[in-house]
A and B are shown apart, each in its own frame.
Chain A
């Protein structure tokens, strides 16, 4: 029922400047895919190429197996929610929702039915007569999503739709969009620079950097098995700790301590450990460093410790619950070898 999307060696260049360097990606029917990456990584460009708002320089875009490169945006069966919402300020909410259907010359009763249903789904029925300027940011966001829903597209595209909302509303809308996906079951692509949004909403995360895919996979797959330093650093909050490492006699040496990880570490130059995988309680793993505590943040549910190793490298530790850790004190840090990541000089993970 739902629609698949396939990108084959998709390229984009503006004149001589290439911004997307041959992207291969398969999006399964009904999948919620999130493009994530730092600004300028090409995630929005990629989305706009799928939408048909940007010409594709090279490669093939297939929707349900059919090449779409030259098909105009309106004929691709997609709807898009813009970061700015792009609502028409001179039209009422109803007119905004109906615009696309009127353009398609749909009979009026059918338009009314669809608008009514979208308004029900998004709980914006009382707002139908208002103009966009009379709406709050969250309400505008709903109308923008409603405008996509009424068209009953095969594919929904979202271009950083929540970045103009305040933090609280962002979390609420995140939940609603995820719920919408559950209810409608459409294929959706969502662009964000916020890795928390990516982790919480996605079936599949596509991490982009400088116009290439660094890694694509399920959120936990990326969290547990990042393919390289960039993905390891990008996914997870607080960021993964990286300690310079070397290999001596087959053992990994980091922060002056030799570690036995129980696996092959040849060529390793970097040890990565997530803050939440470090403990300071004795007997809970392999000791890998003595650190000095610089700063402690008590968040209530968690205690975040910012520390420095004996050789001057920064280390962040997240401890569960409320723990009393003295500033300036020296503590030993332990890790679970199974949860340690090792990277070679190219930044690729050694598994």
Chain B
């Protein structure tokens, strides 16, 4: 090994290592780096720093008051062997992701298809449909949702008109998660806008060619629209899935921060938050955060690996 020297690498390394190289960089580009400095400080101090710190903390016990105590992989061991709440939060989050993302994308695509048929006042409708997405993550909407699905809320008042006595949706563990899924689907605006842009990109003459071939609208959708839209579907699916994994505010507000009833709305992030700021188990919370990151990373990697089998790129 030692005798085999890659000449190109060694010259490259020599060049990088020489002090004149760095001073040259500085002399030539000092103003640029100075302009970059505020961002660089923020990136290192507010992003990279906390990330690395949390990684370290995930191997410690830390209650914010006393210095972190090294714990090895205790936190991770506990998570996977001895924490029913972790398992519950995992289950809740997966149910939320598995249902809310496809429903939201289907709904967004459906509305985009309707809007794409060319109607008067399209910009107005587009803005109106996008509005829930702007408001959706806010505390106010979550509170509104809580009122709507409460025992004497708007939903039950409407149902009462048809003689149906609805349950208290948010305090029933069988339905509470579904109110959150509906809330997520209602915020279909952002994927819808992207779908709409994608639909606009599909050349009209492809539909004309297909209609000359006698293809029905239904067949045109499955054989042309959907395949040609797969890059956009792929993008939306990735973004929305990550969003869903990270979802926090609605569950926090609607369950009053508890994830109840009976942990039925205990989102992963909510559990993490409670561990960190309710019980001040910063080490354990950090470990939870890293596991979530790993799950999201695995999911994303898996999506990219499978994408070549179902995502069609034009050129």
**Chain A contacts to B: CB under 8 angstroms:** 51-53, 72-75, 78-80, 82-84, 86, 88-90, 99-100, 103-104, 133, 147, 151
Contacting pair A78 B210 (CB below 8 A)? no
Contacting pair A80 B212 (CB below 8 A)? yes
Residues in chain A near residue B215, CB distance under 8 A: 74, 99-100, 103
Closest 8 CB pairs of A and B: A74-B214, A100-B213, A90-B312, A86-B205, A86-B209, A90-B227, A103-B215, A82-B205
**Residue from the list B203, B212, B227, B312 in contact with A78, Cβ < 8 A:** B212
**Residue from the list B206, B214, B224 in contact with A100, Cβ < 8 A:** B214
Contacting pair B228 A89 (CB below 8 A)? yes
Is B217 an interface residue, CB under 8 A from the partner?
A: no
Contacting pair A151 B208 (CB below 8 A)? no
Pairs across A and B, CB under 8 Å, 7 listed: A79-B212, A86-B205, A88-B206, A88-B223, A89-B314, A90-B228, A99-B215
Contacting pair B213 A99 (CB below 8 A)? yes
Within the complex, what minimum Cβ distance (angstroms) separates A75 from chain B?
A: 8
For the complex, give the distance between the alpha carbons of A230 and B203 in Å: 35
CB within 8 Å for A74 and B208 given contacts A89-B228, A90-B228, A133-B315 = no
**Residue from the list B208, B211, B224, B315 in contact with A88, Cβ < 8 A:** B224
Residues in chain A near residue B208, CB distance under 8 A: 53, 80, 82, 86
Residues in chain A near residue B224, CB distance under 8 A: 88
For the complex, give the distance between the alpha carbons of A80 and B214 in Å: 13
Residues in chain B near residue A51, CB distance under 8 A: 212
**Residue from the list B203, B209, B312, B314 in contact with A80, Cβ < 8 A:** B209
Nearest A-chain residue to B207, judged by Cβ: A86
For the complex, give the distance between the alpha carbons of A79 and B210 in Å: 11
Residues in chain B near residue A73, CB distance under 8 A: 211-212
Within the complex, what minimum Cβ distance (angstroms) separates B38 from chain A?
A: 44
For the complex, give the distance between the alpha carbons of A115 and B213 in Å: 15
Is B219 an interface residue, CB under 8 A from the partner?
A: yes
For the complex, give the distance between the alpha carbons of A103 and B223 in Å: 10
**Chain B contacts to A: CB under 8 angstroms:** 203, 205-206, 208-215, 219, 223-224, 227-228, 230, 312, 314-315
Contacting pair B206 A74 (CB below 8 A)? no
Contacting pair A104 B214 (CB below 8 A)? yes
Within the complex, what minimum Cβ distance (angstroms) separates B217 from chain A?
A: 12
**Residue from the list A74, A84, A88 in contact with B212, Cβ < 8 A:** A74
Within the complex, what minimum Cβ distance (angstroms) separates B138 from chain A?
A: 39
Residues in chain B near residue A83, CB distance under 8 A: 205
Contacting pair A103 B209 (CB below 8 A)? no
Contacting pair B223 A99 (CB below 8 A)? yes
Residues in chain B near residue A99, CB distance under 8 A: 210, 213, 215, 223
Residues in chain B near residue A79, CB distance under 8 A: 212
Nearest A-chain residue to B204, judged by Cβ: A86
CB within 8 Å for A53 and B214 given contacts A86-B206, A88-B206, A89-B228 = no
Contacting pair A74 B315 (CB below 8 A)? no
For the complex, give the distance between the alpha carbons of A83 and B208 in Å: 12
For the complex, give the distance between the alpha carbons of A89 and B227 in Å: 9
Other A-B contacts than A82-B209, A84-B205, 16 sampled, CB-CB below 8 A, are A51-B212, A52-B212, A79-B212, A80-B212, A82-B208, A86-B209, A88-B224, A88-B227, A89-B228, A89-B312, A89-B315, A90-B228, A99-B210, A100-B215, A103-B214, A147-B209
Within the complex, what minimum Cβ distance (angstroms) separates B255 from chain A?
A: 44
Within the complex, what minimum Cβ distance (angstroms) separates B133 from chain A?
A: 29
Residues in chain A near residue B312, CB distance under 8 A: 89-90
Among A52, A84, A88, residue most surrounded by chain B Cβ atoms (within 10 Å) = A88
Within the complex, what minimum Cβ distance (angstroms) separates A91 from chain B?
A: 8
Nearest A-chain residue to B219, judged by Cβ: A103
Contacting pair B211 A53 (CB below 8 A)? yes
For the complex, give the distance between the alpha carbons of A80 and B205 in Å: 11
For the complex, give the distance between the alpha carbons of A103 and B211 in Å: 10
Contacting pair B211 A74 (CB below 8 A)? yes
Residues in chain B near residue A53, CB distance under 8 A: 208, 211-212
For the complex, give the distance between the alpha carbons of A57 and B312 in Å: 39
Residues in chain A near residue B228, CB distance under 8 A: 88-90
Within the complex, what minimum Cβ distance (angstroms) separates B230 from chain A?
A: 8
Nearest A-chain residue to B205, judged by Cβ: A86
Contacting pair A86 B214 (CB below 8 A)? no
Nearest B-chain residue to A157, judged by Cβ: B212
Within the complex, what minimum Cβ distance (angstroms) separates A245 from chain B?
A: 47
Within the complex, what minimum Cβ distance (angstroms) separates A145 from chain B?
A: 13
Nearest A-chain residue to B213, judged by Cβ: A100
Residues in chain A near residue B211, CB distance under 8 A: 53, 72-74
Within the complex, what minimum Cβ distance (angstroms) separates B31 from chain A?
A: 44
Residues in chain A near residue B205, CB distance under 8 A: 82-84, 86
Residues in chain B near residue A88, CB distance under 8 A: 206, 223-224, 227-228
Residues in chain B near residue A72, CB distance under 8 A: 211
Residues in chain A near residue B230, CB distance under 8 A: 90
